[in-house]
Every structure is written in C-alpha cells, then in structure tokens.
Amino acid sequence: MTSSEDVRRAVGINDVAARAGVSPGTVSNVLNRPERVAEATRLRVEQVIDELDYVRNSSGRSLRSGRTDSIGLLVLDVTNPFFTKVSEGVEDEAAGAGYPVVLLNSAENPQRQRRSLRLLAEQRAAGAVIMPVDNDLSDLLWLRERGIPWVLLDRGDVSADLGCSVCVDNHEGGLAAGRHLVSLGHERITFLSGTLSLEQCRTRLNGLRTALDEAGIDPDDAVRLVETGKLNAANGEQAVEEVLGGGPKRRPQAVFCANDQLALGLLKGLGERGLHAPGDISVVGYDDVDFAALVHPGLTTVGQPKYELGRAAMRLLLSELNDPGHRHERMLFAPELVVRGSTAPYRT
C-alpha cells in the first residue's frame, strides 16, 4: 500500500551510502569531519545527499554521541520586552557558532521552570542560559550534575563556584534611581516590586534604600514597599490602589518600579484616576524597554544593556562548551539612568 497518505520511509545515512557506493561511516564523516574524506568521495556523497534530500536524524546522532547541540534559553516571561531583547542577543551569538536555540518560558512559575529543566535533561541539551524564578538553585545543580552546563542571567548573588553568571549591577541601578529621586527632593518613595523572591527586586530595593541613607534620610521611614506578583503591566495598573493607599497625606511623592512593565501599568492606572506623572507623582522604571521612550511623558528608567547581556551570557556558555581551560566567571555590567519626563522636582 502506497497511498498518498503514506509517508515514504525516511532516507537514512545507509541509503545515501548505498547509492554513493561508500560505507555509512564515510557518509557520517562527510557530514561531520569533511576534511577526513577525499575530495572526490566527498563531492559524490554530497551530491547523493542532495538528490535523496537526506535529512539527518538527530535522535540517532545524539543517542550515539550522548549530546545534542541545542541550547536552552529559559526566560521568566516571554511577553516582557526585556527578555525578548536579551534573547535576541543570545540567539545571535549562538547562531554565529552554529548552535540552535530553543526558547522556554517559565512564566515566573517554579513548576514550569522545573518542567523546562527536566526537558533539557531528557533531551541532553548542550547547555542552557537561565533566568531563575527564585533563590532555590537545587534544580540547577541537579542539571549540572547531569552534565548540562548553564550560565545564569540576571542573578548577581551566585558564587562563581557554581557556574558563570551575567548580570547588571542591580544595587547600582537602584542607587542611581534613588539618588535621582532624592536630588529632586522626594522623601516619600514607594518601591513597587514584583515578588521579592526575585533577587533583582530585592537588590534594587536595597539600592534605593542606600541612596536615601546617603542623603541622611531614614529608609525605614521614607520607603514603602508594595509587592505585587508577576512583573507585568496588569499588576502595575492594579497596584495603583495600594500605591496611593493611606490617603493623600501619605501618598508617595515618587514611585520606583522594579521594571518598566509595572511602571507603564502604573502610569495607566494613575491616568485613569486623573493623576499624572510627573505633576502629581514621579515615576521611575527599570530596564529601559523600547516602549519606555514611546509613552508620554517618556519614562525615566534605569537602562540595562539587554542585547549585550544576552550575547555575553551566550559567549560564556560557548566558552564553557568548547574551551578546555574554561573557568567560571561573573560578569557585571553597569546600569545607566535614563532621565525622561516622568520625574520632576517635588513641589510642596
């Protein structure tokens, strides 16, 4: 039976070998170490590969070699432009070295992170670039025990004994934002955070507190914390209630948001209540996502070299994969305050 529904049996390395009059091993060599095979044979085999439209079966390949060449990229939120920008960097760098990247989305959900890591283990991925959902690194160590190396992204607090990491100095970023607000005369500042199980949030908050401390202001008095869940615009918008809570007297003079998504959502929520930045309240974001420049007023924010972050992470991973003398490394980038229209001096 050869109905049109039938998929004709896939052509394998053996079919190619037979047709080209060589052994399967030679075909494999043409594919993997062309320099080991004579010019003439190589050309002949390559032609047959084309004729038969042979496509390598990566299951067989990696079963034998114990390895895949695909790289996992595990992000916290695929809808967040920060992560997609980072992933562009990772992809470009990986593509340059011939590694395919598969993007996995944990959606800030530990369960899903776990499933994704397991998938990488089952598939014997070559390595991974990971932005972890929380402090619990045990699953990551588990992965490494299984021979799958990773580079951590956006986690500054992890020892280089465990693995490489690439990070932007979050304390410095929080500090820059804090200093900016202090210099504008703000003394009642709310930190609008995602879940504090994210190290980024905690450290940015600490930076803010340090800035106040520097200025002789007691952070415990000056800083109020509003903790939402995920770092998205919906949560920012929803948090406006709690941010403004406590009556006009206790209304913050400024809000520093853990990322731009929250900040943009917050701006919208404020607008719906007839409040506007910077007149009624100053707002600072974090990440300098493309959209931060598109809203009106432009969002003052702490910029991160997103694309470069991704490239650097991938470069470290490639080093670990290919360089025998590799040593784990912590790379720290500097954030950069981008002042736009959403912040202004405090008017009493």
Partner DNA sequence: CGGTCTAATAAAAACGTTTTATGCGCTTCG
Partner DNA sequence: CGAAGCGCATAAAACGTTTTTATTAGACCG
- Which positions touch a second copy (CB under 8 A)? 7, 10, 55-63, 68, 70, 78-79, 81, 84-85, 87-88, 91, 95, 100, 102-105, 112, 115-116, 118-119, 121-124, 145-147, 233, 264-265, 267-268, 271, 290-291, 293-296
Q: Is 327 in the site for DNA (CB under 7 A)?
A: no
Q: Is 26 in the site for DNA (CB under 7 A)?
A: yes
For DNA, the closer CB: 23 or 135: 23
Least distance in Å: CB of 101 to DNA? 20
C-alpha–C-alpha distance, residues 114 and 127, integer Å: 16
Single-letter residue type at 89: G
Find tokens 């695929």 and name the residue. Answer: 78
Least distance in Å: CB of 103 to a second copy? 4
20 closest CA partner among 48, 57, 60, 59: 48
Q: Is 210 in the site for DNA (CB under 7 A)?
A: no
C-alpha–C-alpha distance, residues 86 and 202, integer Å: 21
Q: Is 34 in the site for DNA (CB under 7 A)?
A: no
Burial class (CB in 10 A: 0-12, 13-18, 19+), 333: middle
For DNA, the closer CB: 1 or 10: 10
Angle at 39 between CA 34 and CA 42, to 5 degrees: 55
For a second copy, the closer CB: 196 or 275: 275
Number of residues interacting with DNA: please give it, by CB under 7 A: 33
Least distance in Å: CB of 56 to DNA? 5
- Please identify which residue in 2, 40, 216, 247 interacts with DNA, judged by CB under 7 A: 40
Least distance in Å: CB of 24 to DNA? 5
For DNA, the closer CB: 17 or 182: 17
- Please identify which residue in 19, 29, 81, 148 interacts with DNA, judged by CB under 7 A: 29
Q: Is 54 in the site for DNA (CB under 7 A)?
A: yes
- Write each residue from 57 to 96 as x if it is in contact with DNA (CB under 7 A), else as -, in one continuous string: x-xxx-xxxx------------------------------
Rg (C-alpha) for the chain, rounded Å, is 26
Q: Per DSSP, what are the bridge partners of residue 167?
A: 332
Least distance in Å: CB of 21 to DNA? 6
**Binding partner selected for residue 235 from a second copy, DNA, none, CB under the kind-specific 5 to 8 Å limit:** none
Phi-psi region of 136 (alpha: psi -120 to 50; beta: other; left: phi over 0): beta
Q: Is 21 in the site for DNA (CB under 7 A)?
A: yes
Residues lying near DNA in the complex (CB under 7 A) are found at 9-10, 12-14, 21-29, 31-32, 36-42, 54, 56-57, 59-61, 63-66
